[in-house]
Structure 1
Amino acid sequence: MTKITETLTDLEIAAKADIRPIKDIAEAAGIPEEAVELYGKYKAKIDVSQLPKGTKNGKVVLVTAISPTPAGEGKSTVTVGLADALSRLEEKTMIALREPSLGPVMGMKGGATGGGYSQVLPMEEINLHFNGDIHAITTANNALSAMIDNHLQQGNQLQIDPRRIAWKRVLDLNDRALRNVVVGLGGPAHGVPREDGFDITVASEIMAVFCLASDLVDLKERLSQIVIGYTYGKEAVTVRDLGVEGALTVLLKEAFKPNLVQTIDGTPALIHGGPFANIAHGCNSIMATNTARQLADIVVTEAGFGADLGAEKFMHIKARQGNFSPDAVVIVATVRALKMHGGVPKEELKEENAEAVRAGIPNLEKHIDTIRRFGIEPVVAVNRFTSDTPEEMEEILHWCETNDVAAAVANVWEKGGEGGLDVARHVIKQLNTPNQFAPLYDVKDKVANKIRTIVQEVYGGQDVHFTDQALKQLMTIEQNGWDKLPVCMAKTQYSFTDEPKLLGRPKDFTITVREIIPKLGAGFLVCLTGDIMTMPGLPKQPAALNMDIDKEGNITGLI
């Protein structure tokens, strides 16, 4: 790695890094040439069918975090830095990450490929379209919408009730104006008029199916099980009834191959799939994780937002369906996030305030408690920012030491893998210590009990309230025999509650479930809480306003 001494942006650091041809990264990772499909010089797809069978069964390190704040916690940065640190300790390591969605990239947060000297490369291409996977998912989703409307137009043999079509079109951008639309206007030749709407692509069930399928056969079967709506007699209509699961699988065939890139340090990274964690299950594809496990001794992966969202869903959904369990868990905490949970407004986070850090620690404490409830002893990584003071960081480290929690500072933004060595040593120790991992509920439990278990044990809440609509949907789910699926909570990421402004560690609260939507292809039930939106809107100052490009094609403002 070429170390840059002057102060540079993440994008400038990435541009100056020594990036190796991806075929060299593949060779070092043990990927045979016939399995590598080049997408330019620095990206590739992996044909998993060409890999040697049963070579490894790598251990999984899950990186999660405390409840995030608008200040940003750097979970992806820590994930990359930790993997680079493990590589420096001569552990054969690979990374498995989600693909960035253009919604957040152009909206609230900008790029999502790590930062500083802990980035995956080429960061511009990964953040902008990448190898086209999300576009393929968008196309498959909207092809299904077109097939549904064509079926209505051509006589509606299945007797689909246009008022009960549950399938929406998607777009991989934040566009609140498309949440509710009317299609089929213009007269008989232009379709059957009906209300419709758009979700963001990463909230699509096809994205969840894509990330949970184990192979092409499983992908096709899962697609066939998707419920698109109901008949006039209120019977479920699936993709199999329409007969288009083959066509959808064809559209996803190439996208389904995991994408290979590299970190600044040269650690191989598989980036594949990208469901949101506050709406969907928030984990990269099982295909990529299991491919990495086949090639490496340690796989470092992440789950979106805090342990109450992505990590809980990793444990209850991804681990179950992928037939593996996490061997170690890292919880990312930051001084500035804990200060915000301790009552400090965002504009004052750079001011030293050790007392506020202390006041915010109960949020970290609950996330530690949650991971321990799953039978795993977590490692806390204190992700260092330049504004952090030694006194503030010491508040966290001292609390962890007092409460017998392994913790270390991760200075990976500034120093890359070198800055993550202390965290990596703690992780290796945990990997060599057997854990007692177990889910918190049995999928055979009643749906209401599964939701209540998550609210009480993961969020620390008191109870659950179901709206009349949710109760009706629950009755339909039970009548159709869909109640033995795990639940996927759609909840704000900022709070343990369904109120985003209730920071810290609230207690004695009730979560309101307003809708329960069966996702039979994905294999879970989505429970909508609060004001969660499946099509986000842009903020007042979108990240896109900072982006530009010069005549040479150099991009600025992406992060």
Structure 2
Amino acid sequence: MSDSTPLSGTGQSSTPLSDLDIARRAVLRPIEEIAASAGIDAGAVEHYGRYKAKIDPSKLSAPAPAGKVVLVSAMSPTPAGEGKSTTTVGLADSLARAGHKVMVALREPSLGPILGMKGGATGGGLSQVLPMDEINLHFTGDFHAVTSANNALMALVDNHIYQGNELSIDPRRMTFKRVLDMNDRSLREVVIGLGGPAQGVPRQDGFDITVASEIMAVFCLATDLADLRDRLGRITFGYTYDRAPVTVADLGVQGALTLLLKEAIKPNLVQTIAGTPALVHGGPFANIAHGCNSLIATQTARRLADIVVTEAGFGADLGAEKFMDIKARIADVAPSAVVVVATVRALKMQGGVPKDRLNEPNVEAVAAGVANLRRHVRNVERFGVTPVVAINRFPADTQEELDWLLGWCSGEGIQASVADIWGRGGGGDGGDELAAKVAAAVNGPSSFRHLYPLDMSVEDKIRTIVQEIYGADGVDFSVPALRRLAEIEKNGWSGLPVCMAKTQYSFTDDASRLGAPKGFTIHVRDLIPKTGAGFIVALTGAVMTMPGLPAVPAAMRMDVDDAGNPVGLF
């Protein structure tokens, strides 16, 4: 929610407070107390100040992962906001309040979008993970480690070419780029090696944002340090002059990259405002990569808690589908329940209401936009998992609108609850009803299944996703994409799952088409094998791997006071 949204039902001041203001008023417990409450052995805790720590899973005495997973997803995102992270944190606090042993597992925020326009990834209001300013601004340095590993690889590759190119790497067929944890459109396409023979071999290159790096995806899918090294070695960074793939193992530098990541791979422990333990670790993009926190953090949380509340990026068509078909295949992390977050405001926008009129009561617009929510909920059911709709309440929502939406859900046979976890979270009663329904779903019957088998062709996997999840009539492959399909088959990569890179704002590849469109085709412009992460990225529409900054970046309102406290950070 916005900084101008007042707290409600908390018994606190009615003066509008920002998320940062609320976070500052919270009383944090020393991180060793949070660790002890979660059952984490003292020897496994590595302090990063008073309120942050890394956890070494190899030093835990906790048993094998057994906790059940609740995945929080959402309807298609809009500028009106859905509050997925806020709901994730508030739900975990409410489950803890009901007596369940709970942990939160979230992604780390990317610095580029924070300084751009997205906002933070630590929740909001009274449902936040803390210290929110430190988490949003460098945290424990994990993203810097991923950036260093990525760029070390490319420095070693270019040095190999300069020193004689024993592997016959074709500089024109590089598929890996340097990265930076910043939105910077000027770096999308660059030329390196200019200035004469002593400066290297000139070639066209470019930068992606760090969260789009395959090393970030590998980092978040590795099961342990040995698996991390193996996956790094399998990364394909380019091709030879004979068009044979070249991997990190061919170059022999997977050990060095693992060395740069050996501390970062340990999950980060923090706390919610209510004192619920939270692991915040890893952060791949949800449209370019799989959009989930690290598998190591999820599995560590499952060793320590009975219920782990985690989230997947953007709507259920992107993050949740990838959680089911990519992350859940790697290890036993299939969700026992899925929460689909919706807001009256977002439904109005899906129904055609402009952002500046969302505070006006409009049941008709809610009804017009509810088709988007219906498709997301039905998609979750395709995986054999029970969905629960969390209606994240905003102050401008009318009771008539909320009652209509609850009635619609009831008529569709969908479990739903209104949650006021922004203003009454933090261990308050705003999420009690939602927590009860989620707990019932977790303990209910489940028959999880993937959307497609791995032995299906890549083309058919893509067609299955676009038809069954997006509701498209079919898929159109560009000439380069068709060539890539042949290469994938030739190189033996067709058994990998597919990671669709698509706009988050629409079921189509056109961000302007809201609601639940019909009669459209998804256009695949290219395919990128991510052989270390273990999936094939299908690029659609105009998805960018290096975002740009908006006309007025969020950084314009940020500062620090004389005491060193942040200003203007959400």
How far apart, in 2, do the equivalents of 1:328 and 1:167 lie?
Answer: 37
- 1:465 paired to 2:479: no
Q: Which of the numbers 120, 128, 133 marks the counterpart of 2:137?
A: 128
Partner of 1:285: 294
Partner of 1:22: 31
Alignment check: 8 A CA contact 2:336 2:386 kept? no
Alignment check: 8 A CA contact 1:4 1:13 kept? no
- 1:103 offset after TM fit, Å? 1.4
Alignment check: 8 A CA contact 1:212 1:285 kept? yes
| Partner amino acid, structure 1, of 2:236 | V
Q: Which of the numbers 453, 458, 467 marks the counterpart of 1:442?
A: 453
Alignment check: 8 A CA contact 1:212 1:322 kept? no
Partner of 2:272: 263
- 1:209 offset after TM fit, Å? 0.1
Alignment check: 8 A CA contact 2:191 2:205 kept? yes
Partner of 2:518: 507
| Partner amino acid, structure 1, of 2:483 | K
Q: Which of the numbers 410, 419, 427 marks the counterpart of 2:430?
A: 419
Partner of 1:209: 218
Partner of 2:4: none
Q: Which of the numbers 298, 301, 308 marks the counterpart of 2:317?
A: 308
Partner of 2:537: 526
- 1:482 paired to 2:493: yes
SS at match of 2:386: coil
Alignment check: 8 A CA contact 1:55 1:295 kept? no
| Partner amino acid, structure 2, of 1:297 | D
Alignment check: 8 A CA contact 1:56 1:297 kept? no
- 1:492 paired to 2:526: no
How far apart, in 2, do the equivalents of 1:56 and 1:129 lie?
Answer: 29
Once the two structures are superposed, what CA deviation does each residue of 1:415-461 show, in whole Å capped at 9, x if it has no partner?
A: 00421111100001111112111011001101111001100111111
How far apart, in 2, do the equivalents of 1:431 and 1:162 lie?
Answer: 51
How far apart, in 1, do the equivalents of 2:235 and 2:185 lie?
Answer: 25
| Partner amino acid, structure 1, of 2:447 | Q
Once the two structures are superposed, what CA deviation does each residue of 1:343-387 show, in whole Å capped at 9, x if it has no partner?
A: 011121121111101100000000011001111120000001111
Q: Which moved more, 1:48-57 or 1:14-23?
A: 48-57
How far apart, in 2, do the equivalents of 1:418 and 1:317 lie?
Answer: 35
- 1:340 paired to 2:340: no
- 1:546 offset after TM fit, Å? 1.4
Closer/same/farther in 2, CA of residues 2 and 168 from structure 1, 3 Å limit: farther
- 1:395 offset after TM fit, Å? 2.0
SS at match of 2:289: coil
Partner of 1:35: 44
Once the two structures are superposed, what CA deviation does each residue of 1:40-61 show, in whole Å capped at 9, x if it has no partner?
A: 0000000111101426510000
- 1:536 paired to 2:547: yes
SS at match of 2:418: strand
How far apart, in 2, do the equivalents of 1:173 and 1:455 lie?
Answer: 31
Q: Which moved more, 1:382-391 or 1:461-470?
A: 382-391
SS at match of 2:429: helix
Alignment check: 8 A CA contact 2:89 2:123 kept? yes
SS at match of 1:414: coil
Once the two structures are superposed, what CA deviation does each residue of 1:270-326 show, in whole Å capped at 9, x if it has no partner?
A: 000000101110000000000000000000000000000000000000011122210
How far apart, in 1, do the equivalents of 2:343 and 2:98 lie?
Answer: 25
Q: Which moved more, 1:440-449 or 1:4-13?
A: 4-13
How far apart, in 1, do the equivalents of 2:387 and 2:52 lie?
Answer: 33
SS at match of 1:413: coil
How far apart, in 1, do the equivalents of 2:185 and 2:81 lie?
Answer: 23
| Partner amino acid, structure 1, of 2:562 | K
- 1:349 paired to 2:358: yes
- 1:337 offset after TM fit, Å? 0.5
SS at match of 2:410: helix
SS at match of 2:402: helix
| Partner amino acid, structure 2, of 1:498 | D
Partner of 1:80: 89
SS at match of 1:476: helix
Q: Which moved more, 1:493-502 or 1:390-399?
A: 390-399
Partner of 1:224: 233
Alignment check: 8 A CA contact 2:65 2:299 kept? no
SS at match of 1:378: strand
Unaligned runs of 5+ in 1: none
How far apart, in 2, do the equivalents of 1:328 and 1:377 lie?
Answer: 5
Q: Which of the numbers 6, 19, 34 marks the counterpart of 1:10?
A: 19
Closer/same/farther in 2, CA of residues 55 and 154 from structure 1, 3 Å limit: closer
- 1:396 offset after TM fit, Å? 1.2
How far apart, in 2, do the equivalents of 1:2 and 1:23 lie?
Answer: 30
How far apart, in 2, do the equivalents of 1:110 and 1:481 lie?
Answer: 41
Q: Which of the numbers 367, 371, 374 marks the counterpart of 1:365?
A: 374
Partner of 2:173: 164
Once the two structures are superposed, what CA deviation does each residue of 1:372-411 show, in whole Å capped at 9, x if it has no partner?
A: 1111120000001111111111221110011111000110
SS at match of 1:380: strand
For normalisation by structure 1, the TM-score amounts to 0.99
SS at match of 2:459: helix
Identity %: 65
Closer/same/farther in 2, CA of residues 161 and 168 from structure 1, 3 Å limit: same
SS at match of 2:396: coil
Alignment check: 8 A CA contact 2:31 2:52 kept? yes
Q: Which moved more, 1:345-354 or 1:32-41?
A: 345-354
| Partner amino acid, structure 2, of 1:89 | A
Cα RMSD for the two superposed structures: 1.1
Partner of 1:97: 106
Q: Which of the numbers 256, 260, 269 marks the counterpart of 1:247?
A: 256
SS at match of 2:341: strand
Unaligned runs of 5+ in 2: 1-9
How far apart, in 1, do the equivalents of 2:409 and 2:442 lie?
Answer: 19
- 1:7 offset after TM fit, Å? 2.7
Runs of 4+ in 1 over 6 A off after TM superposition: none
Once the two structures are superposed, what CA deviation does each residue of 1:59-103 show, in whole Å capped at 9, x if it has no partner?
A: 000000000002221000000000000000010000000000011
| Partner amino acid, structure 2, of 1:283 | C
How far apart, in 2, do the equivalents of 1:285 and 1:78 lie?
Answer: 20
How far apart, in 2, do the equivalents of 1:29 and 1:319 lie?
Answer: 24
Once the two structures are superposed, what CA deviation does each residue of 1:234-266 show, in whole Å capped at 9, x if it has no partner?
A: 010000011000000000000000000000000
Partner of 1:294: 303
Q: How many residues align?
A: 559
1:167-186 alignment to 2 at 5 Å? 167-186=176-195
- 1:2 offset after TM fit, Å? 9.9
- 1:556 paired to 2:567: yes
